[in-house]
Amino acid sequence: MEKPVALCLCLLLLAGCAASTLPGEPSPSPSEPTASPSPPDTPAQPSPSPSDPKDDVKGEVDLDAILQSFAAKTAEGFTPRAGFDKKQEGVAYGETAELEYYSNTTGATRKCIVYTPPGYDPSRTYPVLYLLHGIGGIHTEWLGGEPNNILSNLLAEGDAPPMIAVLPNIRAKQNDGVGGDIFGAESIAAFDNFINDLRDDLMPFIRENYSVSDKREETAVAGLSMGGREALFIAVSMPETFGFAGAFCPAPGLMSSNLGIPGQLDPSDMTLPEKYKRDMFILINAGNQDTVVGDSPLNYSGAFAANGVEHAYYSIDGGHGFDVWKNGLYWFAGCIFKRAESGN
């Protein structure tokens, strides 16, 4: 059974915070970092209600409409439509291609997978989603989550616009394969370096080769575990570029030294400039039985709430795996690019 969930937006689906306690010490995972659950840096709670009249002005991302739509869609729970991740009769599906690009950041040729929606037309401009893997994966890991099926089914149901999705290798170093101590400082630093490869190499390559928008309200980033941690880091670091961020069971370490190295940010840094605080949609989810990342998703949510950043947070029954990650992608993809879709 799903636990009640706090939507951090001034309205609540709240009877208790879903992931405030998790069982026991986390067990090692072959593909993701482990960290002992720790108390939230700040308690998750609804963000303060807007009081300044300027807050009534809609930004590039219609946050109020998205949060209200998300709350309505999930009012009875977070179970997606039956077969959301399976091929359905009569539905057209997109195509995926593996590509190579040169990265000046790493000094090496790197790979990514690009999903194009059914009926892709190069003369049309599409919103773009960058979908990031975990610490033990490479650019192919998300294929295990059936993003083609999920995105194409959402499109067929009218629940998402056609979009391009890019699945990169976010281990940004010259030898970007899985090897050595994947939980060590060198490995973590390579993931934290991805933001430079993304900004300076991958995004320009995608724009040169695909008809993608360069508008922030048509650009999103999301990821699972370590990819979720990096998605949040990218969101707070590049709010002028990204209007949407999704973190599915995000890994620890962004705000602290849970992995034995200094965190990238202080809790006070988990924020956005005032102009973007109500102009970016952020979704964080967690698995109630996830003993790999512990309370990290809730901690990140708590930091955002304490800093006045409205966002959505929920948890469902499940561990550290695609049952929860796919669920996050389903709800996230069904919320993003709505103004791009309507043209408003």
Angle in degrees, CA 285, 288, 294, rounded to 5: 80
Question: Tokens 């960058």 appear where?
Answer: 130
Going across the sheet that includes 164-168, the strands are 95-103, 108-116, 164-168, 128-132, 219-224, 244-248, 281-287, 312-316
Domain boundaries, the chain: 53-342
Q: Is the pLDDT of residue 30 over 90?
A: no
Domain 53-342: give its CATH architecture: 3-Layer(aba) Sandwich (3.40)
Question: Residue-wise over 186-211: b if at least 16 C-beta within 10 A, else e?
Answer: ebbebbbbbbebbeebbbebbeeebb
Q: How far is CA 202 from CA 130, 217, 253, in A?
A: 10, 19, 25
In tens, the pLDDT along 120-150 reads 999 999 999 999 999 989 999 999 999 999 9
pLDDT at 175: 79
pLDDT at 150: 98
Q: Is the pLDDT of residue 80 over 70?
A: yes
CA distance 260 to 253: 8
pLDDT band at residue 75 using 50, 70 and 90 as cut-offs: very high
Average pLDDT of the residues in 202-224: 98
Q: Is the pLDDT of residue 310 over 70?
A: yes
Higher pLDDT, 334 or 266: 334
- Give the Cβ contact number of residue 94 at 10 Å: 21
Counts of helices then strands in the chain (DSSP H, E): 9, 8
Q: Is the pLDDT of residue 20 over 70?
A: no
Q: Is the pLDDT of residue 52 over 80?
A: no
Average pLDDT of the residues in 168-184: 81
Q: Is the pLDDT of residue 176 over 90?
A: no
Among the listed residues 183, 199, 163, 171, the one whose alpha carbon sits nearest the alpha carbon of residue 111 = 171
The answer to whether residues 324 and 285 touch, using CB atoms and an 8 Å cutoff, is: yes
CA distance 142 to 188: 19
76-82 long-range Cβ contacts below 8 angstroms, 24+ apart: 77/2, 78/2, 78/5, 78/314, 78/316, 78/327, 78/331, 79/2, 80/327, 80/330, 80/331, 81/153, 81/157
What is the overall mean pLDDT for the chain? 83
Q: Which residues pair with 244 in a beta bridge?
A: 220, 281
pLDDT at 260: 55
Q: Is the pLDDT of residue 82 over 90?
A: yes
pLDDT at 182: 72
- Kindly report the pTM of this predicted structure: 0.83
